[in-house]
Amino acid sequence: MALTSDDMRRLAALARLELTPEAEGPLVTQINGFFDLVAQMNAVDTTGIEPLAHPTDAMGEAVALRLRDDIASEPASEAIRDTNQRSAPAVERGLFLVPKVIE
């Protein structure tokens, strides 16, 4: 089942991307070309196989993942906040500015 231009526009909206009309056609062709490759995955019997989300999960007990304590470990100060916001496009009094969302 091949993706259509409508599908591509729907996906673009979900991904918060805008596609130009010129870009859309080649994209549909390229992505459908890729999904031709994906078809071979359907034939693989994976009954009873646990998904591997993370390679650490395949390495055995010795290297199990862990959680650290849920505590703030970074010091807080206005100076640090200002440094962290240095590369933000629009900031005022320590706040990130965005277009108006509530009328």
Partner 1 sequence: MSEIHEWRVAELSRQLQAKAVSSVEVTQHLLARAEAHQGLGSFLHLDPERALAQAKLADAQRNDGHAAPLLGVPMAHKDVFVTEGMPTTAGSKMLAGYQSPFTATVVRRLMEAGTVSLGKLNCDEFAMGSANENSAYGPVKNPWDVTRVPGGSSGGSAAAVAARLVPAATGTDTGGSIRQPAAFCGITGIKPTYGLCSRYGMVAFASSLDQAGPMARSAEDCALLLSAMAGPDLDRDATSLDVPARDFTQTINQPRAGATPDKPLSGLRVGLPKEFFGAGVSTDVNEAVQAALAQLTALGATLVDISLPRTELSIPVYYIIAPAEASSNLSRFDGVRYGHRAAAYDDLIDMYQKTRSEGFGDEVKRRILIGTYVLSHGYYDAYYLQAQKIRRLIANDFQAAFQQCDVIAGPVAPTVAWHLGEKANDPVASYLADIFTLSISLAGLPGMSVPAGFGEGGMPVGLQLVGNYLKEPELLQTAHQFQQVTSWHTASPKESVL
* Residue ranges binding partner 1 (CB under 8 A): 3, 7-8, 11-12, 14-19, 23, 27, 30-31, 33-34, 37-38, 40-42, 44, 46, 49-56, 58-60, 63, 65-68, 73, 80, 83-90, 96, 98-101
Ranges of beta strands (E only) in the chain are 91-92, 95-96
Residue 89: CB minimum distance to partner 1, A: 4
d(Cα 30, Cα 37) in Å, to the nearest integer?
Answer: 11
Contact yes or no for 86/92 (Cβ under 8 A): no
Residue 4: CB minimum distance to partner 1, A: 12
d(Cα 103, Cα 90) in Å, to the nearest integer?
Answer: 20
DSSP letter, residue 45: -
Nearest residue (CB) to partner 1, 53 versus 76:
53
Nearest residue (CB) to partner 1, 6 versus 87:
87
Residue 6: CB minimum distance to partner 1, A: 13
* DSSP, residue by residue, 23-35: HHHHHHHHHHHHH
Residue 49: CB minimum distance to partner 1, A: 4
